Amino acid sequence: MNQTFKTVASSNITISELMLPSHTNFSGKIHGGYILSLLDQIAFACASKFSGNYCVTASVDTVNFLKPIEVGELVTMKASVNYVGKSSMIVGIRVEAENIQTGKIKHCNSSYFTMVAKNSDGESVTVPGLILSNQSDLRRYFNCVKQIALKKEKDLHEEIFDHNSPAAIASLDGHNVKLDIEFH
C-alpha cells in the first residue's frame, strides 16, 4: 500500500472574527453556543484541508471554556490535526480573544473534535498519515493517544459497572444526592 503522509502544519487553519452584540448571551458575554458553532466550522475546515475530503464531526471530545469573551474583542481560532486514525482525525483548537484597544490577548478556550473523512457516497475513507515535525506536534499526538485510552477505559467502565449494586449505592454516601428510586 502506498500511503501518503502530510505534516501537521499542512492542516493549520486560523480564523478571526470580531464579536458583536448579536453574539451575546443573557449576561452580556459571548454565547458559548456561538463559539461552539465557530469551533465546528474550523474543525471541519482543518480536517477537510488535511484529508482532501468532506468531513463530519464524530464527537466533541473536550470543550474547556476558560475565560469569558467580551463584545468588541477579536476572537482568533487556531486549529490543527493532532492525531490521525484510519479515517478519523483529532483536531485541536485554541481560542484567543484580543482586546483591540489594549492589545491584551487571553486564552479563552481549548477544544478537541474528532472528525471523520467521507467520500461522496458518505462512506468513511482513509486519511493521510501524519508527519510529526517538532516537539509540539509530538506532545499533542501523545496527548491524543492518552485521551483515546481514557475514553476507551471510561466506555468499558460504563459497560461493566452495576449501577444497582449495594456497593454502588453505598458509594453515594457523602454525595449531594437523595435516592428516590424503587429497587426491584
* Domains in the chain, number: 1
Q: In the prediction, which pLDDT does 165 show?
A: 85
Percentage of the chain beyond pLDDT 90 is: 79
Q: Which pLDDT score, from 0 to 100, does residue 26 have?
A: 94
pLDDT class for 96, splitting at 50, 70, 90?
very high
Retrieve residue 137's grid coordinates. Answer: 506536534
Residue-wise pLDDT tens digits, 141-183: 999 999 999 988 888 877 787 888 888 888 889 899 988 888 7
Q: Is residue 20 part of a domain?
A: yes
Among the listed residues 72, 70, 69, 76, the one whose alpha carbon sits nearest the alpha carbon of residue 42: 76
For residue 175, tell me if it sits in a domain: no
Query: Which residues constitute the domain of residue 24?
Result: 5-132
Closest CA to 71 of 92, 100, 93: 100
Q: Is the pTM of this model over 0.75?
A: yes
Instruction: Report the CATH number that the domain containing residue 57 is assigned in CATH.
Output: 3.10.129.10
On whether the CB atoms of residues 34 and 22 are closer than 8 A, the answer is no
Those residues whose C-beta lies under 8 Å from the C-beta of residue 127, and which sit 6 or more positions away, are 50, 51, 53, 84, 85, 86, 87, 88, 89, 117
